[in-house]
Chains A and B, each alone.
Chain A
Amino acid sequence: MSILKSKFIVLGFLLPLFVYLSLYTWNWRTGYLDRFAANTGLEIVGWILAPGKWLHAQAELSWKRYVALTGVREENEQLRRELERLKLRAMRLESRAEEAERLRRLLRFSPPPDWSCHGARIIGHKLGPNALLQTLLINKGKRNRISKHMPVLTSKGLVGRVLKVSPHFSSLLLLTDPNNHVPVLAQETRTKGILQGRGPGSSLAMKYVGQNAPLHTGETLVTSGMGNVFPKGLPVARITSIEHSSLYLFQKVTAEPLVDFNYLEEVLLLQRMEAPPADEATTAPEAQ
């Protein structure tokens, strides 16, 4: 009886636990299962959400059309038709103009030297029970040369970085997430620090700023280029308050992001341009 019981414990509990911990540790070292889940699960989610977003946009347009048309019912039939046509056209043009304006603002952004830009649309945000971090889903993936840790921004400022990539979709880690640390420096006083998110709707915290470091409210924080993830000089946030306390070694600095994350529709992704291989660069002039 006791042998049966111990067999049951081994097979029913210890063996699955051992298998699970082995898988977890192996994945922690290799990241293989994470990549597999991104290539399958994230792809499925992306393909399910992308058509829905399109349908949503179409439904919104139809609703706007309907609302706009209710006001001209009493008009003459011919004039009404004409008005409908013109209104629909105006609405389409207005929508396109708004989109064009947004895209123009994005295009006006000139990437830093040695970096190139990719545009992407946002198709979803954090979803599922494992979505612990503040993330967004975009419609670009490995096939579009998107890779992990690529900086993400709009014409207003930094949004975050790429967290996970599948063939056609990627998820972004937002600046507001507490796990996102961005090395920054103040644009005027050149004081350095690390900017950390404090969750959605909360301000950002600039850490490790010494008590005597010069800094003032309203100053813009830009990326410092340290850490080799973000290029130097991208606007990130604006300082909202500075507190000095004799109890702490550092100043307590809070800042607000320059980007409003609630109204994001399109983003830009920065890709580091690959430098030509060293031997190619050196042998080319010789060959000439």
Chain B
Amino acid sequence: MHQTLIEALWWALYTVVGIWLQTLLPGIDCLAPGLIVCLQARRLTIAFWLAVLWILIQEGSGSLAFGASILWYAGLVIFFYGLSLFLTVKSAFFGLFLSLFAGLWHFSIIFLLANLQELSINFNELLVQSLQTIIVFPVLWGIVSLIYHLRIAPGHVTA
């Protein structure tokens, strides 16, 4: 019970900090690394509910029609499990590939859905956002993972 409460408080705090970070880094998802940490720790129920909450947050504050965040999070989850079949989650290559995928996936989804919704996009801005995602994603993932595994759930198994 105590542990569950600590985790709930941690994820609530993480969501608040993540949203504030997103105001500083427009176009970057600062919540998604938390989902990867949850998957790493095999906290699948928490991961599911966090994904639902974060999808609503990203869709509500975003400017595209509903659906982009579902694809974004689903893609990350599928790629995480797919990649974990070939590489250990803790390896540097895993982080590198996942970050590259995150940047590419962000670019593809936004480009596809913006065209589908007949919206004009600033190609350079989208490219910069994707490159920023590649850089920011592993940094945030590392920080969140470290805090989570050292402070919040120290005894938890890593996938």
Query: C-beta contact mask, A1-35 vs B, less than 8 Å → 1, else 0?
Result: 00000000000000010001001100110000110
Q: Which one of B19-27, B37-45, B89-97, B151-159 contacts A?
A: B19-27
Contact assessment for B56 and A44 in the assembled complex, using a CB-CB cutoff below 8 Å = yes
User: Does B4 have its Cβ within 8 Å of any Cβ on chain A?
Assistant: no
Contact of A128 among B29, B71, B114, B120 (CB under 8 A): B29
Contact of A129 among B19, B28, B122 (CB under 8 A): B28
B36 to chain A, nearest CB (A): 15
Contacts of B19 in A (CB 8 A): 44-45, 48-49, 127
User: Which residues between 29 and 63 of chain B lie within 8 Å of chain A, taking CB atoms?
Assistant: 29, 32, 53, 56-63
Query: C-beta contact mask, B116-153 vs A, less than 8 Å → 1, else 0?
Result: 00011110011001000100000000000000000000
B23 to chain A, nearest CB (A): 5
User: Which residues between 152 and 176 of chain A lie within 8 Å of chain B, taking CB atoms?
Assistant: 163-164, 166, 171, 173
Contacts of A128 in B (CB 8 A): 22, 27, 29, 57-58, 61-62
User: Does B99 have its Cβ within 8 Å of any Cβ on chain A?
Assistant: no
Known contacts A127-B19, A131-B62: does B125 contact A199 (CB below 8 Å)? yes
Which size bracket describes the interface of A in this complex?
35 or more
Contact assessment for A164 and B63 in the assembled complex, using a CB-CB cutoff below 8 Å = yes
Contact assessment for A131 and B23 in the assembled complex, using a CB-CB cutoff below 8 Å = no
User: Does A84 have its Cβ within 8 Å of any Cβ on chain B?
Assistant: no
Interface centre among A28, A127, A130 (most CB of B within 10 A): A130
| Closest residue of A by beta carbon distance from B21 | A127
Known contacts A125-B26, A137-B61, A163-B63: does B69 contact A130 (CB below 8 Å)? yes
A166 to B74, CA, bound (A): 26
B117 to chain A, nearest CB (A): 8
User: Does A189 have its Cβ within 8 Å of any Cβ on chain B?
Assistant: no
User: Does B72 have its Cβ within 8 Å of any Cβ on chain A?
Assistant: yes
Contact assessment for B57 and A45 in the assembled complex, using a CB-CB cutoff below 8 Å = yes
Contact assessment for B60 and A20 in the assembled complex, using a CB-CB cutoff below 8 Å = no
| Closest residue of A by beta carbon distance from B59 | A37
A23 to B68, CA, bound (A): 12
Known contacts A20-B71, A129-B110, A131-B27: does B122 contact A27 (CB below 8 Å)? no
Contacts of A125 in B (CB 8 A): 23, 26
A8 to B81, CA, bound (A): 16
A20 to B133, CA, bound (A): 25
A24 to B126, CA, bound (A): 23
| Closest residue of A by beta carbon distance from B102 | A129
**B residues lining the A interface (CB < 8 Å):** 15-16, 19-20, 22-23, 26-29, 32, 53, 56-72, 74, 106, 110, 114, 119-122, 125-126, 129, 133
8 chain-A/chain-B pairs, Cβ below 8 angstroms? A24-B67, A38-B60, A43-B60, A52-B20, A131-B61, A133-B119, A173-B63, A178-B120
